[in-house]
Structure 1
Amino acid sequence: MNVLFLTLLFPLIGWFILAFSRGRLSETVAAIIGVGSVGLSALTTAWIMWQFNTAPPVGGVYTQTLWQWMSVEGLAPSFTLYLDGLSLTMLGVVTGVGFLIHMFASWYMRGEEGYSRFLSYTNLFIFSMLLLVLGDNLMTLFFGWEGVGLCSYLLIGFYYKHVPNGNAALKAFIVTRIGDVFLMIGLFLLFLNLGTLNIQELMVLAPQKYAAGDTWLWLATLMLLGGAVGKSAQLPLQTWLADAMAGPTPVSALIHAATMVTAGVYLIARTNGLFLLTPEILGLVGIVGGVTLVLAGFAALVQTDIKRILAYSTMSQIGYMFLALGVGAWDAAIFHLMTHAFFKALLFLASGSVIHACHHEQNIFKMGGLWKKLPLAYASFIVGGSALAALPLITVGFYSKDEILWEAFASGNSALLYAGLLGAFMTSIYTFRLIFIAFHGEQKTEAHAGHGIAHNLPLLVLIVLSTFIGAWITPPLAGVLPQSAGHAGGEAKHSLEIVSGCIALAGILLAAMLFLGKRSFVNAVAGSAPGRFLSAWWFAAWGFDWVYDKIFVQPYLFLCRVLARDPIDGAIGIIPRLARGGHGVLSRSETGHLRWYAISIAGGAVLVLAAVLVA
């Protein structure tokens, strides 16, 4: 396991070579470097996993100190890598799924301007995410946290010549920075009160210094939650995620499946000891997740862009993970994080195949009848969509989502359980609405299937992982995360599995009834006054952008217009204007005529004498 540092070094070297080549490398060489660096990182991860399982480190933890960064007034952070079951799970997801996405991207981005630049950004993205999950202290984690934020800005705005893409990148950067400020405040509070940012030391010191519900710890964990909701696109900082679809499709897969949006889930799971001491904040985590998953489900139901539908589904699935964290189902949250990476990466890459085949058309209502033309993409959507809808027994999503629902039930929080069940029903409807409209019915556009190993292999591997086979991969979390209350199971759990399975099947059946064929009933409902109102409201994602525009953006622009002619600067500017005016008047008296000067002196003397006499 002493090769752990190589998992970060390989993508960092790949980024360095590609970034400083300045586009002089051929596409083939750039692909070999960009994909190969992540592939080497994935192979190193596989070797570490084998060692971790066959010869576990003492205490189930391995640390590797690279160097001491600084030592200032009691703050002595080092760049130390920390490997346990949780970080090993994240390491496998990031490098494994990240490698498949890189391979697909090497095919998808062929012929695009800035090919090597794109791969350099994705390599830096992988390095930053690995730094985030392997750092043993919150400062190292924060460096990786900021790194993925920077890379998301660069990748979302990759097509920088298009103004909407730049705006989407800027929006993602600003909204996630709000969360980052909250996270920084949380780190400041923790260091101020506990004197360290080492995660394991925090877990030991917090129970010793703080009583449960302590105000300072309550505020610190609230700030950590603020950072998590920003990065993971949860309420109320969720608005950036759908607009992030402006980037190339492999970017969407990278951000929404294996890396950035899972960072908030990882942060809360990693600092679980702090949240257990503040049960009110932990309960808030569950509420945020439950509300987000329902709202995102309704928004996905009326979208027309294939990628935006998947974006809102990501928001909803991350909501399930937050819900699980909120009820103390730590293992279930990380298990769903892993399975979600499989089927969501599959769906996004398959959507990229569809978009590429349909000449970059993304409106599902302009597709139709694609199942014959694009058999692999269709199979990917059937398997990935079934996993997203948690089709019973045969899909990986069923096992992870059902575990979350059971834990919500075992916790006694019926509201979150009902939110989870409603979300499952909505997921089935909007997922198969997408599949039925895009792949069935009348063909509306010509499509040409992708080919080649870089296109086919990632989809085939992810298809396998999105079935029940993927559920055989069990994250090694025993002893790493606290035990939840619902592991006992029994008849109640089986009953809930049957109920959730029936809900998923009912959603698929309803989607078939509504969206296969002529869709006359759906069109009639959508054309009614309530239908138009709800469609517009949900299409705008419940109007959060409009509200934020009125509350924050417009007042800010108004202040900018007012301050464009800054009244304070204008008032202060009176002094130099008076000086310049006086100079202009007095300079005219410098005529060079002796008699004028004599008269001026005499006149000045008279004025002085008059002033003296009056005084």
Structure 2
Amino acid sequence: AATAAKKAFLVNRVGDMGLSIAIMLMFTTFGTFAFGPVLSHTGETGEGKLTAIGLMLLLAACGKSAQVPLQSWLGDAMEGPTPVSALIHAATMVTAGVYLIVRSGAIFNAAPDAQLAVTVVGAVTLLFGAIVGCAKDDIKKALAGSTMSQIGYMVLAAGLGPIGYVFAIMHLVTHGFFKAGLFLGAGSVMHGMNDEVDMRKYGGLRKYMPVTFITFGLGYLAIIGFPGLSGFFSKDKIIEAAFAKGGTEGWILGGAALLGAAITAFYMTRVMLMTFFGEERWRNQPTRSPQAPSAEPAAEHHGEHAEPHPHESPKVMTIPMIVLAVGSVFGGAFFSIGDRFLHWLEPITGHSEGNSPLSAAAVTGGTMVCLLIGVGIAYAMYGRRPVPSVAPRGSLLTRAARRDLLQDDFNHVVLVRGGEHLTRSLVYVDHTLVDGVVNGTAASVGGLSGRMRKLQNGFARSYAVSMFGGAALLIAATLLMRAV
């Protein structure tokens, strides 16, 4: 946990550096830190300056919202307590970057290159996180990959400009309901399973944890975009907005969003099947030691009397899950009826309908097809086959996804080793050039002083010779000057 904390701290400092540079650029360009004057004068500022500000704001958003390339800290942050993951890593802190981009919308609207960079980061991250989530056996890390992917949807929508700003914030709100509920559900499962996080050791828990099963199931249906639930309304609107971008860019972004929907349905169905359905694999597992350290405050109490089988969590844990499940079911419809969410944010974010090459019905139909494909593949792999107790070798992509698509390996090779080589080079330059110049100058002065000191030997004859030589030089110089 300490290592994860340091990693999160360092990665977020990179994002904070981007925010600091953006703030300084804003001040030097507009003479103020206030959003109002800045956003109202973007039309009078050069595109190059706005692009620089936008890219630095994007860097800040990547750090805080775990977007590529600053995404590596979020999975490790799952070492913390699950309620923290539900609140900070699902509903609040990690979505701050999305708010920053949307709130700075006027800057991005006037900087197309920065806006394109935002959409690319969002599209890449939504696929990156989804692929990582497919290969995780740790229930919290699977949800962490899901969080990264869903925030990728929000960033993608924010990069679409006025077409997508409202839908980015709408998905931010609905995601807060169902993802916080899913994280609390994961914590409830861990509580009932004596702190076990490996889904390969779960199975058949729906009979023993009915409240957790129902609330987690509603969150699952919401995140995959089941019709009528909150995720259906917000994610569907983002996919529509992506296609409405138009041109080749619109087709690429819309296709990425649809592919992400299929992968989301796959990995979340995988989580449901491995946790609540199938064989009760936990019966074949040794009981976890009650003295084992726990990251869950609630689990520490029951660890003293660890039960040999799963059990439902107490009301202090299930009631918040029920509240969030209600939001997961009705939140999207509440915000969508009468376009109330759109009208509420439009004065700040603006809105544009765009010209989508596909009708809303066609996009919805495509999303449903992707949903069914993802669910079907997951059911074929995990619903009809026994779950292996040891992860199979898998394909090259699967092995890479288990290692977070080699992001830590990349950071180690490029940043850590690169930093070490750079440091050694700087040390060599410092010792050879900087210290060499200083020490060489000192040695030269010391040598010259030593030679001159020999002239001051205390003998009168030496001083007489010196005086005679000096006088001779003065006479010679005087005669030479007169001759000229």
Work out whether the TM-score is over 0.5.
Answer: yes
Partner of 1:411: 245
**Partner Cα distance (1:327, 1:243) in 2:** 30
2:133 counterpart letter in structure 1: A
User: How far off is 1:206 after superposition?
Assistant: 1.8
- The unaligned stretches of length 5 or more in structure 2 are 283-307, 444-453, 467-484
The structure with the largest helix share of the pair is 2
Partner of 1:434: 271
User: How far off is 1:511 after superposition?
Assistant: 0.8
Counterparts of 1:556-595 in structure 2 under 5 Å?
556-557=419-420, 567=431
1:182 counterpart letter in structure 2: G
Tell me which of the two structures has the higher relative contact order, counting C-alpha pairs closer than 8 angstroms and 6 or more residues apart.
2
**Partner Cα distance (1:360, 1:610) in 2:** 96
* Alpha-carbon spacing, 1:190–1:564, altered in 2? closer, same or farther (3 Å): closer
**Partner Cα distance (1:311, 1:297) in 2:** 10
TM-score calculated relative to the size of structure 2: 0.79
User: How far off is 1:248 after superposition?
Assistant: 0.8
1:355 counterpart letter in structure 2: M
Counterparts of 1:163-562 in structure 2 under 5 Å?
165-207=1-43, 209-211=44-46, 214-328=47-161, 329-393=164-228, 395-412=229-246, 413-445=250-282, 446-473=308-335, 474-475=340-341, 476-486=344-354, 492-519=359-386, 526-527=392-393, 531-557=394-420
Counterparts of 1:82-97 in structure 2 under 5 Å?
none
SS of the aligned residue for 1:479 comes to helix
**Partner Cα distance (1:464, 1:276) in 2:** 36
Assess if the C-alpha contact under 8 Å between 1:526 and 1:532 holds in 2. no
User: How far off is 1:479 after superposition?
Assistant: 1.9
Assess if the C-alpha contact under 8 Å between 2:191 and 2:313 holds in 1. no
2:316 counterpart letter in structure 1: A
Identical columns (%): 38
User: How far off is 1:541 after superposition?
Assistant: 1.9
Counterparts of 1:24-63 in structure 2 under 5 Å?
none
**Partner Cα distance (1:470, 1:287) in 2:** 26
User: How far off is 1:489 after superposition?
Assistant: 8.4
**Partner Cα distance (1:387, 1:271) in 2:** 29
Assess if the C-alpha contact under 8 Å between 2:174 and 2:332 holds in 1. yes
Partner of 1:25: none
User: How far off is 1:392 after superposition?
Assistant: 2.0
SS of the aligned residue for 1:472 comes to helix
Assess if the C-alpha contact under 8 Å between 2:86 and 2:179 holds in 1. yes
Which string of whole-angstrom CA distances, capped at 9 and with x for unpartnered residues, describes residues 247-299 of structure 1?
11111112222211111100111111111001121121111101111121111
1:335 counterpart letter in structure 2: M
Which string of whole-angstrom CA distances, capped at 9 and with x for unpartnered residues, describes residues 53-76 of structure 1?
xxxxxxxxxxxxxxxxxxxxxxxx
User: How far off is 1:551 after superposition?
Assistant: 1.4
User: How far off is 1:554 after superposition?
Assistant: 2.0
Partner of 2:474: none
Which string of whole-angstrom CA distances, capped at 9 and with x for unpartnered residues, describes residues 424-460 of structure 1?
0000000010111122222233444344432121111
TM-score calculated relative to the size of structure 1: 0.63
Partner of 2:476: none
2:231 counterpart letter in structure 1: G
- The unaligned stretches of length 5 or more in structure 1 are 1-164, 579-603
Which string of whole-angstrom CA distances, capped at 9 and with x for unpartnered residues, describes residues 14-48 of structure 1?
xxxxxxxxxxxxxxxxxxxxxxxxxxxxxxxxxxx
User: How far off is 1:570 after superposition?
Assistant: 8.0
SS of the aligned residue for 1:362 comes to coil
Partner of 2:469: none
* Alpha-carbon spacing, 1:574–1:407, altered in 2? closer, same or farther (3 Å): closer
**Partner Cα distance (1:489, 1:554) in 2:** 47
**Partner Cα distance (2:192, 2:232) in 1:** 30
* Alpha-carbon spacing, 1:558–1:606, altered in 2? closer, same or farther (3 Å): closer
RMSD: 3.0
**Partner Cα distance (1:216, 1:417) in 2:** 30
* Alpha-carbon spacing, 1:425–1:265, altered in 2? closer, same or farther (3 Å): same
* Alpha-carbon spacing, 1:489–1:220, altered in 2? closer, same or farther (3 Å): closer
Partner of 1:92: none
Partner of 2:450: none
* Alpha-carbon spacing, 1:190–1:611, altered in 2? closer, same or farther (3 Å): farther
**Partner Cα distance (1:205, 1:469) in 2:** 36
Assess if the C-alpha contact under 8 Å between 2:210 and 2:312 holds in 1. no
User: How far off is 1:558 after superposition?
Assistant: 5.1
User: How far off is 1:169 after superposition?
Assistant: 0.7
Assess if the C-alpha contact under 8 Å between 2:233 and 2:332 holds in 1. no
1:481 counterpart letter in structure 2: T
User: How far off is 1:331 after superposition?
Assistant: 0.8
User: How far off is 1:611 after superposition?
Assistant: 9.7
2:218 counterpart letter in structure 1: V
Which string of whole-angstrom CA distances, capped at 9 and with x for unpartnered residues, describes residues 298-343 of structure 1?
1111111111110011110011011111222111111100000000
* Alpha-carbon spacing, 1:376–1:177, altered in 2? closer, same or farther (3 Å): same
Partner of 1:95: none
**Partner Cα distance (1:398, 1:605) in 2:** 96
Assess if the C-alpha contact under 8 Å between 1:370 and 1:447 holds in 2. no
User: How far off is 1:564 after superposition?
Assistant: 8.9
2:233 counterpart letter in structure 1: Y
SS of the aligned residue for 2:398 comes to helix
* Alpha-carbon spacing, 1:171–1:443, altered in 2? closer, same or farther (3 Å): same
SS of the aligned residue for 2:281 comes to coil
* Alpha-carbon spacing, 1:612–1:356, altered in 2? closer, same or farther (3 Å): farther
**Partner Cα distance (2:114, 2:84) in 1:** 32
- State how many pairs are aligned: 416
Partner of 1:33: none
1:280 counterpart letter in structure 2: D
**Partner Cα distance (1:406, 1:399) in 2:** 11
Assess if the C-alpha contact under 8 Å between 2:62 and 2:97 holds in 1. yes
* Alpha-carbon spacing, 1:252–1:610, altered in 2? closer, same or farther (3 Å): farther
Which string of whole-angstrom CA distances, capped at 9 and with x for unpartnered residues, describes residues 215-245 of structure 1?
1111111111111111111111111111111
User: How far off is 1:606 after superposition?
Assistant: 12
Which has the higher Rg, Structure 1 or Structure 2?
2
